[in-house]
């Protein structure tokens, strides 16, 4: 169509002009322009974007587990920006400067945070005249060829009755590990990761940077929610995608009240600065998939904006889960009697005798009993398989939370034995044995100098010029090795504009943000 | 009037052409067997996608998903909204019908769901049914007070209905609930309409800092460029529009913004080249008129008239597609066509919505028809909110001059030229001429 228009510009006459424009889809309702003589350019009907991709405020997952190699410490991990394509240049994946990434710790079970670990970020661009992420091979974090560098602070806030009583900076201007641009640009990414693992004051260890997305599932499992079934699952649709992570390992004694009350509640929130200059909470996340699967559409956004203190508002969704009725319809697994006290334990209070603090106020948080020793042989189904060091006692990277939650909702804990699942049982990449445990990010494929058209493999042969690489419009989409399917495309923030747009649309309502639309 | 007859005949031809070209050009519905499955499964060779091809591909993927899971009411609502976004970036009103159908499906599956109601609001606003947009947005917000798109469409509707105080309150509420590019851009515009340029610029800069998608970068950069242009800061306007074009080379509003900045700096040839490019792709009245006036300023009368006739044709087409084009009619006809038609159209639009834009159009149409005393009332209304629009001040000044308010006229005309000395290739010289007549000089 546009081709017609382009040749059309050479035509003569009004009809041809209109015709060419029409061929390009030129008739629109958008063009109400206000002008008297000349062209006041003020369109009286501005059509601003409705859909916007802002994945840097989109928190995907939270993990909390007793460190397997250092059982007196607890590791906290939280991830942002789902579906990072390895070849996501030229700007790659920056941490936002107008956001706060918070992990809250409730050490007495009253649904109020007693500690907040707060990450904030700062960006430096060495050469503002180029859009390039790196200008040549990057072999260390302080390599001058890394054109865009980020640093972070961590503040530890102590609260009493929701008032901040003290703030301590435990990390100050530490380096963020960059996006893994590609082997040509970053021949030894592991070295960059290792350089980015830093000690923080008070005896903790920190890593901030890119990682392989540790979550594994077949997104088609969510077809259950609208009448599909599990007959076509079994492929990890997150394979080959990265996330931006923050990981922190701290002495467990710092988190808990006392050795006698070793269970803590953990959740993350994301705040961003609004137009009026106030911090606004745009995301909240504790247990995986709760907002996606348990909370109905109309309340998903409200859930993101609310605090655990008020989670009684959502209690009934846990007690009477729609998913259980759907499973009954599809699989004939009789839904357990409501109200579902078993699910209240899993999602809101912790399981009695395992990870339920005394006098707990029901609230959506990961509940980790820090005194349970790490398991030498972690079971993917965690507590359901007799491994009390796993979900729902905290959450380890290897815990198969999709299967655990499906089986729990279907009544596993109240005698409805079942083996529901999405047939994806492990991450495609192995996790490490030491902090930060996350797998290295999948490497992108950009050559060392995107600006010189130096590209290889997936990223070339598309007629994309060096200019494309420079203009921020990364039109080409690298295809993960095993091909892409609709589920991923629909969810893929990194598929460029559309992915971002569609994530902005909330197509990823099935993961974390649970944004309904 | 042979001109009018020729225009009418042209319009008839164009409508027929439009029907031929757009009717059925887009296969929609996506029912079983309608169209092949989209080519989204990964070929090993990536393809370079045209602008918003990614959105197109996302839509294709959504449709394929919906063929497999037709009960997914959220995805139906999402598809409807994606069609509205496509219509905005492509200027193809046929997509509104497609949006309607997808949203209908969603509501049939889950009556009253807020995603679909917000989609309804977006479609209504796009069709200039602002009362409907307000109603649907309110219904969506009753269901889900945090629905980002309903919050955004609510601001749009209130702005277009001229309810600026309510729009400002709605913008504050939206900002407190769902900060982000959609709300920031609207928040900034509401502030600008009230004369608070500083806040508008600050908020747009915040939006730009958080924007990652090329489409967002292009939109926000262009909004910053337009803001700078209205303040007469053409260097900044060019820089901002350049940034927008780097993010999305095919983003026409950025090209138009660049053209106006170039024209204001006296680089008429480059401005004409830009506008020809814009008009060839989307002959919207704004850029078409701007191009005509640039031709006219250069003394190319015949070419100018051709552009003015094209506006008439566009208006005829818009009407044929059920889009209300009274404001465009009024603005184009007042200066370049049939004054009586301009006044009819301006009055009709004023009856529908009382905004600074419709007040200005009515004032100018009244003036063109010799009703200067009545025009003055509306000229005052158009400039009452503090919105810095040089054209409104120029219209007001000329009307004040016509009614004998010489001191006020001088003040208004000087303000227009001080604000944005190159606001129009015809209007700016006319303002200077009027000042000279009044003995002020400029």
Question: What string of DSSP letters covers B180-220?
Answer: SHHHHHHHHHHHHHTT-HHHHHHHHHHHHHH--SHHHHHHH
Question: Are A55 and B249 a contacting pair at CB < 8 A?
Answer: no
Q: How far apart are CA A325 and CA A482, in angstroms?
A: 35
| pLDDT band, very low/low/confident/very high, at A85 (cuts 50, 70, 90) | confident
Residue matched to tokens 């990434």: A101
- Under 8 Å between Cβ of A378 and A395: no
Please, are residues B288 and B310 in contact by the beta-carbon 8 Å criterion? yes
A97:B360 CB<8 A:
no
CB contact under 8 A, A36 and B257: no
Q: Do residues A124 and A150 touch, judged by C-beta distance below 8 A? A: yes
- The segment with the largest mean pLDDT, out of A447-461, B409-423, B427-441, is B409-423
Calpha distance A508→B275 (Å, rounded)? 40
- Position A51 scores a pLDDT of 76
Distance from CA of B294 to the nearest CA of A (A): 8
Separation of first and last alpha carbons in chain A:
31
User: Residue B162 pLDDT more than 50?
Assistant: yes
pLDDT at residue B40 above 60? no
Closest Cβ–Cβ partner in A8, A475, A505 for B78: A505
Residue of B nearest to A227 (CA): B71
CA dihedral B306, B311, B314, B320 (to 10 degrees): -120
Which DSSP letter does residue B335 get? Answer: H
Q: Find the range with the poorest average confidence among A22-36, A496-510, B98-112.
A: A22-36
Please give the pLDDT value at position B85: 85
- Span A93-122, average pLDDT: 97
Confidence of residue A464 (pLDDT cuts 50, 70, 90): very low
pLDDT band at residue B311 using 50, 70 and 90 as cut-offs: confident
Q: Do A40 and B389 make contact, defined as CB atoms within 8 angstroms?
A: yes
What pLDDT does residue A89 have? Answer: 65
Residues ≥6 apart with Cβ < 8 Å to A210:
A84, A93, A177, A178, A179, A180, A242, A243, A244, A245, A441
Q: What percent of chain A has pLDDT over 70?
A: 76
Give pLDDT, residue A172: 98
Region B331-353: what's the mean pLDDT?
89
pLDDT of A244 reads: 97
Pick the residue of A3, A8, A27 with the most B CBs within 10 A to test the interface with B by mutation. Answer: A27
pLDDT tens column, A127-157: 887 778 888 899 999 999 999 999 999 999 9
Assess contact for A311 and A303: CB atoms under 8 A: no
Tell me the shortest Cα–Cα distance from B176 to chain A, in angstroms. 7
Chain B hits for A482, CB-CB cut-off 8 Å, are 42
Token representation of residue B186? 């609207």
Mean pLDDT to the nearest integer, A379-405: 97
pLDDT at position B312: 84
Angle between helices B214-230 and B181-193 in degrees, nearest 10 = 10
Percent of chain B topping pLDDT 70? 86
Q: Do strands A279-285 and A198-200 pair parallel, antiparallel, or not at all (unpaired)?
A: unpaired
Q: What is the arithmetic mean of pLDDT over A12-22? A: 45
How far is it, in rounded angstroms, from Cα B4 to Cα A193?
Answer: 72
Contact assignment for A49 to B96 by CB distance below 8 Å:
no
3-state secondary structure at position A76: strand
Top pLDDT among A48 and A414 is at: A414
- Sequence-separated (6 or more) residues with CB below 8 Å from residue B355: A44, B159, B160, B161, B162
Q: State the Cα–Cα distance between residues A393 and A65, nearest whole angstrom.
A: 8
Of B77, B126, B392, the CB nearest to A29: B126
Task: Determine if residue B344 is left, alpha or beta; phi over 0 gives left, psi from -120 to 50 gives alpha, anything else beta.
Answer: alpha
Q: How many interface pairs between A and B have CB atoms less than 8 angstroms apart?
A: 438
- Count of CB atoms situated within 10 Å of the CB of A302: 18
Is residue A179 pLDDT above 60, yes or no? Answer: yes
Task: Name the token pair of B388.
Answer: 């810095």
| Helix ranges restricted to H, B144-284 | 148-160, 164-177, 181-193, 197-210, 214-230, 234-247, 252-264, 268-281
Flag the least confident range among A453-457, A461-465, B7-11, B359-363: A461-465
A401, A88, A87, A83: which is closest to A212 by C-alpha?
A83
Q: Among A143, A49, A212, which residue's Cα sits nearest to residue B181?
A: A49
The answer to whether the Cβ–Cβ distance between B115 and A282 falls below 8 Å is no
Reported confidence tier of residue B112, pLDDT bands at 50, 70, 90: very high
Nearest to B215 among A49, A302, A470 (CB): A49
DSSP A393: B
**pLDDT > 80? residue B89:** no
Average model confidence (pLDDT) for chain A?
80
Of A22, A41, A517, which is closest to B22 when you measure between CB atoms?
A22
Considering only CB atoms, which chain A residues are within 8 Å of B160? 44-45
Distance in Å, alpha carbon of A446 to nearest chain B alpha carbon? 14
- The yes-or-no verdict on residue A492 having pLDDT over 50 is no
B355-382 pLDDT per residue, tens: 999 999 999 999 999 999 999 999 999 9
* A39 pLDDT above the threshold of 90: no
Query: What local confidence, expressed as pLDDT, does residue A457 receive?
Result: 32
CA distance B407 to chain A (A): 22
* Most confident region among A295-304, B94-103, B183-192 by mean pLDDT: B183-192
User: Which residues of chain B neighbour A489 with C-beta distances below 8 Å?
Assistant: 40, 57-58, 61
Q: Between A218 and A499, name the one with better pLDDT.
A: A218
Strands A242-251 and A99-106: unpaired
Predicted pLDDT at A90: 64
Which 3 state secondary structure label does DSSP give A293? helix
Q: By the 8 A CB rule, do A469 and A459 touch?
A: no
User: Model confidence over B389-423: pLDDT tens digits?
Assistant: 999 999 999 999 999 999 999 999 999 999 999 99
**pLDDT value of position A250:** 98
Quote the pLDDT of residue B91. Answer: 66
What is the mean pLDDT of the segment spanning B17-37? 26
Contact A226/B69, CB-based, under 8 Å? yes
Would you say residue B286 has pLDDT above 60? yes
User: Is pLDDT at B20 greater than 50 in this prediction?
Assistant: no
Tokens 């901040």 found at:
A164
Q: A91 vs chain B: nearest CA distance in angstroms?
A: 9
**Do B82 and A49 form a contact (C-beta atoms < 8 A)?**
no
Q: What is the rounded average pLDDT of the residues B298-303?
A: 94
Q: Is the peptide bond before B300 cis (omega within 30 degrees of 0)?
A: no
pLDDT value at A197 more than 70:
yes
- Cα distance from N-terminal residue to C-terminal residue, chain B: 39
Locate B72 and state its tokens.
Answer: 């997914």
Within 13 A of B43's CA, how many CA atoms are on the CB side? Answer: 10
Establish how many alpha carbons lie within 13 A of residue A399's alpha carbon, considering only the half-sphere containing its beta carbon: 27
Tell me the chain A residues in contact with residue B280 when contact means C-beta distances shorter than 8 Å. 5, 8-9, 17, 20-21, 24
Residue A152: strand pairing partners: A121, A174
Indicate the average pLDDT of chain B: 85
């Amino acid at each position: 169509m546009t081709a017609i228009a382009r040749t059309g510009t050479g035509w003569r006459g009004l009809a041809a002009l209109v015709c060419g424009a029409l061929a390009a889809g030129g008739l629109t309702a958008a063009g109400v322009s206000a002008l008297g003589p000349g062209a006041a350019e003020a369109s009286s009907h501005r059509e601003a974007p409705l859909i916007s991709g802002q994945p840097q405020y989109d928190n995907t997952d939270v993990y909390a587990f007793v460190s397997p190699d250092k059982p007196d410490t607890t590791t906290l991990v939280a991830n942002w920006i789902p579906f990072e394509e390895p070849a996501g240049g030229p700007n790659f994946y920056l941490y936002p400067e107008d956001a706060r990434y918070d992990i809250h710790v409730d050490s007495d079970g009253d649904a109020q945070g007693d500690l907040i670990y707060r990450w904030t970020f700062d960006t430096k661009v060495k050469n503002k005249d180029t859009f390039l992420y790196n200008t040549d091979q990057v072999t260390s974090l302080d390599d001058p060829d890394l054109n865009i560098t980020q640093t972070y602070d961590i503040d530890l806030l102590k609260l009493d009755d929701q008032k901040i009583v003290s703030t301590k900076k435990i990390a100050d201007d530490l380096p963020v590990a960059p996006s893994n641009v590609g082997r040509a640009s970053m021949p030894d990414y592991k070295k960059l990761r290792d350089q980015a693992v830093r000690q923080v004051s008070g005896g903790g260890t920190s890593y901030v940077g890119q990682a392989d997305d540790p979550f594994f599932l077949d997104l088609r499992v969510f077809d259950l929610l609208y009448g599909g079934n599990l007959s076509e699952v079994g492929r990890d649709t997150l394979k080959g995608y990265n996330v931006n992570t923050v990981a922190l390992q701290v002495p467990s004694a710092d988190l808990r009240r006392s050795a006698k009350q070793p269970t803590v509640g953990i959740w993350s929130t994301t705040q961003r600065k609004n137009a009026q200059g106030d911090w606004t909470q745009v995301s909240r996340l504790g247990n995986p998939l709760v907002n996606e699967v348990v909370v109905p559409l109309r309340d998903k956004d409200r859930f993101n904006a609310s605090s655990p203190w008020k989670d009684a508002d959502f209690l009934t969704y846990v007690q009477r889960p729609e998913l259980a009725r759907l499973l009954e319809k599809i699989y004939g697994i009789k839904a357990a009697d409501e109200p579902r006290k078993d699910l209240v334990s899993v999602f809101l209070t912790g399981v009695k005798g395992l990870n339920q603090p005394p006098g707990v106020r029901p609230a959506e948080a990961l509940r980790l009993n820090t005194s349970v020793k790490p398991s030498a042989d972690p079971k993917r189904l965690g507590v359901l398989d007799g491994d009390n060091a796993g979900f729902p006692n905290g959450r380890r990277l290897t815990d198969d939370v999709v299967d655990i939650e499906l089986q729990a909702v279907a009544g596993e804990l109240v005698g409805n034995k079942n083996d529901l699942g999405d047939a994806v049982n492990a991450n495609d990449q192995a996790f490490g044995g030491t902090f930060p445990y996350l797998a290295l990010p999948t490497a992108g494929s950009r050559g060392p100098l995107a600006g010189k058209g130096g590209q290889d493999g997936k990223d070339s042969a598309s007629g994309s010029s060096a200019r494309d690489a420079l203009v921020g419009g990364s039109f080409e989409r690298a295809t993960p090795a095993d091909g892409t399917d609709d589920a991923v495309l629909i969810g893929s923030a990194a598929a460029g504009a559309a992915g971002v747009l569609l994530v902005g649309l909330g197509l990823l309502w099935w993961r974390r943000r649970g944004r309904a639309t | 009037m042979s001109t009018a007859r020729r225009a009418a005949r042209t319009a008839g031809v164009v409508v027929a052409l439009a029907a031929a070209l757009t009717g059925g050009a887009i296969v929609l519905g996506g029912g079983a067997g309608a169209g092949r499955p989209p080519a989204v499964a990964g070929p090993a060779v990536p393809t370079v996608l045209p602008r918003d091809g990614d959105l197109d591909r996302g839509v294709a993927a959504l449709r394929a998903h919906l063929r497999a899971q037709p009960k997914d009411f959220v995805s139906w609502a999402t598809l409807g909204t994606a069609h509205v976004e496509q219509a905005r970036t492509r200027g193809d009103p046929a997509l509104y019908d497609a949006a309607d159908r997808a949203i209908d499906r969603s509501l049939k599956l889950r009556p009253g769901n807020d995603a679909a109601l917000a989609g309804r609001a977006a479609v209504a606003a796009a069709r200039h049914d602002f009362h409907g947009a307000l109603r649907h947005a309110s219904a969506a917000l009753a269901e889900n007070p945090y629905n980002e798109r309903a919050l955004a469409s609510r601001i749009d509707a209130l702005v277009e209905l001229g309810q600026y105080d309510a729009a400002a309150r709605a913008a504050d509420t939206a900002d407190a609930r769902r900060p982000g590019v959609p709300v920031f851009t609207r928040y900034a515009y509401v502030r600008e309409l009230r004369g608070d340029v500083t806040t508008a610029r600050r908020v747009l800069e915040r939006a730009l800092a958080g924007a990652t998608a090329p489409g967002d970068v292009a939109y926000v950069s262009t909004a910053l460029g337009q803001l700078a242009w209205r303040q007469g800061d053409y260097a900044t306007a060019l820089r901002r529009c350049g940034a927008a074009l780097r993010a999305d080379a095919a983003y026409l509003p950025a090209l138009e913004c660049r053209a106006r900045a170039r024209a204001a700096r006296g680089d008429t040839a480059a401005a004409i080249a830009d506008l020809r490019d814009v008009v060839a792709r989307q002959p919207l009245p704004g850029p078409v008129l701007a191009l005509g006036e640039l031709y006219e300023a250069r003394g190319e009368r015949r070419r100018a008239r051709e552009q003015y006739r094209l506006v008439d044709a566009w208006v005829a087409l818009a009407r044929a597609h059920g889009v209300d084009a009274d404001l465009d009619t009024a603005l184009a006809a007042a200066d370049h066509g049939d004054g009586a038609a301009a006044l009819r159209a301006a009055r009709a639009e004023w009856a529908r919505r009382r905004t600074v834009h419709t007040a200005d159009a009515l004032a100018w149409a009244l003036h063109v028809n010799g009703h200067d005393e009545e025009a003055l009332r509306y000229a005052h209304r158009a400039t009452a909110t503090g919105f810095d629009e040089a054209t409104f001040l120029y219209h007001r000044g000329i009307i004040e001059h016509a009614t004998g308010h010489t001191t006020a006229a001088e003040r208004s005309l000087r303000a227009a030229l001080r604000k944005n000395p190159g606001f129009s290739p015809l209007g700016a010289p006319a303002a200077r001429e009027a000042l000279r007549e009044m003995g002020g000089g400029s």
